[in-house]
Amino acid sequence: MYLKKSILPLAIMATILFGCNNEHIASKEEITLDPFLPLHQAGQTRPDYKNRIVFDNVNVITMNEQDQILFDQRVVVAKNKIIAIGDKQSIDIGDAEQVIDGKNGFLLPGFIDSHMHITHEGSGNPHFQTFTDPAQMSIYLQQGITTIRSYSGTSYNLEWRDKVASGEWLGTRIVTSGPIFSDYQEMEDAVTAAGITVDDIAESFLEKLYSTYPKDPAAAVTEVSRQKLAGYDYLKVYSKLPEATYLAIVEQAKAENLFIAGHIPDAPLDIVFENQQEIAHILEIMEHFDSFNGSWDEYQQWVISTLLENDISIIFNWSTDEVNMELSQGVDVYSREGYWVIPDIILDIWHNTLGNEITPEQHERAKTFVKALVDAGVIVQVGSDTSDSGSLPEFVHRDMELMVEAGVTPYQALLASTQHPANIIAKITKQAKDRGEVTLGYFADLVLLKENPLDNISHTRNHHGVMVDGHWLPEQELTNMVSHFITLPVIPLLLELKE
């Protein structure tokens, strides 16, 4: 069963074992910062452009026509929207405030990470550690990711989403679920083991968690309405959630017109497929083959036809399962260069975390399965599952690479990080589609790649810079932003009890 560690048992046990006293945490003034401080940072005020920005000498992969490339183009941005696309004869640079030389690179819509978690965490000593500074959005921007879908929301997710959307902050666009609907029994078992009761825990502590634990179906209904009122974009359900509670969530979600995504709860798979709009991991569907009365090929065809019939999307997310496989095999993945973007204290915790056991056979089957899904027309998206142990924003690229390794075309893999998730976001938010393509009137969320990703999907990893909400961030500036981010303090989450 695919399970991510629950924040509550870890937080409670860490606090019980090491005490509730808040030890000294370094302030920003005490930290030696990288000498190359960024001009701007995610979570801070963004600049205001008064005139146009023009990309010159670019090849545009629009993602709205099959494999279409518009060569030697100019693309004009005003404020935060794309207002013109054309050749040099049709578009005059004129009084553009800024001209970006595309160097014959390839301009695409910014990538969308459809499954991530804004909080970095781990069960460290002496306390459960968490990172809540909005500067962490820079590690996504550095990878060309301009929209993130938080799969475990808290109130500060809403604050960040709204400040970015209003233009007050520079940062990635955010679409967020509410706190994850999780199994109450899991929480009760954890607190009992810690020698306390659920009633002993202060409400102020529970409000900081990215999971919610409804005691019964009635409590679940109340929580659905609360999340709707709070303004969360969609609901996430989790593994082990009892069937009765799940069905209560489903009925209230229908009444509230809320999209349901997440793991497969403790309910028959056919019931889940009848009621859920998105599945968080392809692995979970693979694991349910054990309860199917038939061959793998028969199971695969049943899954595909049912997903299509019920308009259910899938997040591939195999990049995080691949690294879990490597961790369980003893591979020193953390020596790889990409992990420099994670704060040291979190990385130290990850070093002591074992991965979920994934077999090489499962690895190959997952790739075969994703190709069958894509070929059949099931909507597949990519996700990094950051901040799960070992997962990084760059896993969005690895998900696309794995899809291509499976025989999916580079264009189809790009759809999984651009147009497809943009369509799902429009479905979630009930708003007109506004991203995922280089199209007139769409948000100026763009990535300028150095080489053509249709020739080699790994070219998505190398860019000249990223534009988000009409603000251009060159490659070096993005590196400086991340260098600054990793120096910021990590905050312990301390258990609070009622007085």
One pLDDT digit (tens) per residue for the chain, 499 residues = 555 555 555 554 444 433 343 333 333 334 344 445 788 999 998 877 778 999 999 999 999 987 789 999 999 999 899 999 999 999 999 888 899 999 999 999 999 999 999 876 555 444 555 666 899 999 999 999 999 999 999 898 999 999 999 999 999 999 999 999 999 998 888 888 878 888 888 888 888 888 999 999 999 999 999 999 999 999 999 999 999 999 999 999 999 999 999 999 999 999 999 999 999 999 999 999 998 999 999 999 999 999 999 999 999 999 999 999 999 888 999 999 999 999 888 888 888 777 678 899 999 999 999 999 999 999 999 999 998 889 999 999 999 999 999 999 999 999 999 999 999 999 999 999 999 999 999 999 999 999 999 999 999 999 999 999 999 999 999 999 999 999 888 777 777 888 7
Residues 148 and 172: beta-carbon distance below 8 Å: yes
Rg of the Cα atoms in the chain: 22
Domain that holds residue 393: 112-119+138-435
Provide the Cα torsion 166, 172, 177, 180; round to 10°. -130
Residues 302 and 381: beta-carbon distance below 8 Å: no
Res 461: pLDDT: 98
195 within a domain of the structure (yes/no) = yes
Q: pTM (2 decimals)?
A: 0.93
CA 300 to chain CA centroid, Å, is: 26
Q: Is the peptide bond before 384 cis (omega within 30 degrees of 0)?
A: no
DSSP-assigned letter for residue 37: -
Q: Is the peptide bond before 343 cis (omega within 30 degrees of 0)?
A: no
Say which CATH number the domain at 327 has: 3.20.20.140
For 96-107, b/e burial (b = at least 16 CB within 10 A) is beeebebeebbb
Question: What CA–CA distance (Å, rounded) separates 460 from 376?
Answer: 25
> Which residues have CB under 8 Å from 419's CB, separation 6+?
63, 64, 109, 436, 437
Is residue 261 classed exposed, middle or buried when 0-12, 13-18 and 19+ CB atoms within 10 A define those classes?
Answer: buried
Res 132: pLDDT: 66
82 within a domain of the structure (yes/no) = no
Res 472: pLDDT: 95
Q: How many domains does the chain have?
A: 1
Question: What CA–CA distance (Å, rounded) separates 62 from 54?
Answer: 16
Question: What CA–CA distance (Å, rounded) separates 334 from 223?
Answer: 38
343 within a domain of the structure (yes/no) = yes
DSSP-assigned letter for residue 41: -
Res 16: pLDDT: 41
SS3 196: coil
If you search the block for the tokens 């920003």, which residue do you land on?
Answer: 28
Residues 313 and 381: beta-carbon distance below 8 Å: yes
Res 15: pLDDT: 45
Which residues share a beta bridge with 131?
120
388 within a domain of the structure (yes/no) = yes
466 within a domain of the structure (yes/no) = no
247 within a domain of the structure (yes/no) = yes
Res 199: pLDDT: 87
220 within a domain of the structure (yes/no) = yes
213 within a domain of the structure (yes/no) = yes
